[in-house]
Structure formats: C-alpha cells, structure tokens
Structure 1
C-alpha cells in the first residue's frame, strides 16, 4: 500500500446496511501512474515501488482493476441476500475478492467466508474495510488469503459455495478459472459467477461443461452502480453444479 498515496472512500447499500468502503484512487489515475513508471526509466533505479509495479505488469499484466467496484459485484451482493438460506453456516469462497465487498456481505448473511485475491494491495484494503464495517458483521469476518488461482493451496472439493464477480474477462482466464473451480467446489456444491454479459463467457460455460458442470442463468438484472450509466448495466449470474 505504500506504493500509492491516494485513497478514496464511498458507501454502498447491500444486505440492509450501508457499507463504508475505501479504495485507491480512481482507475484512470492508476493507469496514468503505470504509464509514468514505464516512461521514466531513471525512476526505476531509485523508486522500488515503481519498479515493483512495472515488473508485475510486464510479468502478468497485473492491472489494478480491483480498485473499482464493478457492476457484477452489485449483482452478486443482491444474489447473496436472496440466497441467504443457501450460504448461512456454509463454507464459502469469494474468488478474486478485490476490496472485499461481497465477502463482507456474505459474512453478514451468516456464511463462513474465505476470500482470496492475487493482489496484496487489494487484500490490505479488504482488511481495512472489515475494520470500518465491524458493526455490520456481528463478530464475523472473512479469512483473507493472497493466492494465485493457478496454484491453489486449498484441499480438493472443500467449499460448499464459491462466488466471483466478473473474473473471466479475457480468454486466457478461462482454463485456470475452470480448473480452479473444478478443484475446490464440493461434490454437492455450487459456483456462482456474476458477469456483465461478456462474449467471452460462452466459451467459459463450455469449458465448465467439459469439466462436468451444468450451467444455468440463476439471476439477471440491470444494476445501478456508482460511476456507471444511470439507466443501469445489464448483468447475469450463472450457477454451476456438477452433473
């Protein structure tokens, strides 16, 4: 987190309460910062933070998308509230948790939530957001883990429910995400993936089918999210179950 000086706070309503969330500066500012790091080679000799960001970008295109709360996360939070009876007391995983919003919502609704992300900075803000929203959690809080879905450290088929918001936004993510879900979803468990009707999602459904999962569209709505068009953004939530 020391690599970034800018911070913003905002509120989101979900599960009957107003959540106070903190994040980094807006995504456009962070894009500009990455570009500045790339253009100024002299900076890399003296600024370890800039060097780290550039190496991460070059190695894995680790773009700071986690700084935003995307429409799919709003839809996923709505679905979790509708599905409280299915997650309460269950072992659940938030895959690519970002700022921790849906993990916190799940915890409030009684789920036993583990939340993972690839980015340590994202998890730092997720932990901060846990502290800011303790009054909504009734003593419950997610377990935050930094993990790469390509190298999962979980036992096989350990989670009753796995949820994620808009994690399959490029074709290169299809095989590792499908493999990960195949590994961690319990035999009678489900995976819920919210997405904004991207074309890339059809090949993902096919990849899950090849791994023995059936898919059904469980929920769809126009989501009204901050910093997005007032008319709403269409999004869908897919449920995957083993055949």
Structure 2
C-alpha cells in the first residue's frame, strides 16, 4: 500500500485477464471517498450533481468486458475505441494492449487521474483522456 499523488491510499493488483496481465492501482478505502463527498454538505455542487465516486471500484462488469474483448478477438490494431465512464480503465487498457487507439473518458477528474496512472503502468503508447459528462 502506498499513497497515491491525490492523497489516497492505494494497493497494487495484477489481474490475469485471459492470460493478459494488467497492473492497476486501486483505492484501499472507497468509503473515504464517499465520506469526503458527504462532508462537503448538501448544497455543494458535487453533492447536488450526484458526483458519486463509483469510478474507484473495480467493477465485475469491467472484468467481464475485458474478458469479452479478448475472447471474441474484436479489437484489432488501429481500431479506435472510446471507453465512457472509464473509472480505473481496465477495458480501455486491455483494448490498448490489443493494439487499439484509445480514448478514456469520465465525468470526474479524479477518475481520469487514476486512469492516466493505470494506463502508464501498462502501456507506453499514448491515450487520449477527456473529461466528459454524457449523463
């Protein structure tokens, strides 16, 4: 466990996704994120806009999508992929490792900070990171 640049305690996980190894930094205490949100008060913009830090969890659906991308062999070098609501960016990283040109988007800047960090742990190729609210 080590402090992430944003002040969050993180742990490193190496995931074996269909034989493709992906290293992710993951927040150890996601409840702390919710506590920070609540502490801002009911009238704070983040609370009113429901900017709930769902991004900090490694979702089972992210693992399932990553497995699907590998099993179905649908990502080809040169393909352009956009991950909406990237969170920790597991599917986007897998797409990048499979040769796609990747854009990672989220509506919270802290999610994009983690996505950048996780991307850099796994790939040298650049990705595009975009703050986007598609809700």
TM-score exceeds 0.5: yes
Residue 32 of structure 1 deviates from its aligned partner by: 2.3
Q: Where does the alignment leave 5 or more consecutive residues of structure 2 unmatched? A: none
After superposing on structure 2, the runs of 4+ consecutive aligned residues of structure 1 that deviate more than 4 Å are: none
Q: Matches of residues 19-58 of structure 1 in structure 2 within 5 Å?
A: 19-38=22-41, 54-58=44-48
Q: Is this contact kept in 2: 1:97–1:115, CA < 8 A? A: yes
Kindly indicate whether residue 7 of structure 2 is the aligned counterpart of residue 5 of structure 1: yes
Q: Matches of residues 1-243 of structure 1 in structure 2 within 5 Å?
A: 4-11=6-13, 12-38=15-41, 54-58=44-48, 60-84=49-73, 86-88=74-76, 89-134=78-123, 139-150=124-135
Query: RMSD of the TM alignment (CA)?
Result: 2.4
Deviations 1:218-243 (A, max 9, x none): xxxxxxxxxxxxxxxxxxxxxxxxxx
- What TM-score comes out, normalization by structure 2 length? 0.82
Q: Is this contact kept in 2: 1:94–1:102, CA < 8 A? A: yes
Please give the alpha-carbon distance, in whole angstroms, between the structure 2 residues aligned to 1:141 and 1:131: 8
- What TM-score comes out, normalization by structure 1 length? 0.48
Larger radius of gyration: 1
**1:211 matched to which residue of 2?**
none
Q: Is this contact kept in 2: 1:108–1:140, CA < 8 A? A: no
Secondary structure of 1:87's partner? coil
Q: Which structure has more RCO (C-alpha within 8 Å, separation ≥ 6)?
A: 2
Please give the alpha-carbon distance, in whole angstroms, between the structure 2 residues aligned to 1:26 and 1:67: 9
Please give the alpha-carbon distance, in whole angstroms, between the structure 1 residues aligned to 2:35 and 2:112: 22
Count of paired positions: 130
Please give the alpha-carbon distance, in whole angstroms, between the structure 1 residues aligned to 2:121 and 2:67: 21
Secondary structure of 1:69's partner? coil
Please give the alpha-carbon distance, in whole angstroms, between the structure 2 residues aligned to 1:144 and 1:15: 26
Secondary structure of 2:103's partner? strand
Secondary structure of 1:77's partner? helix
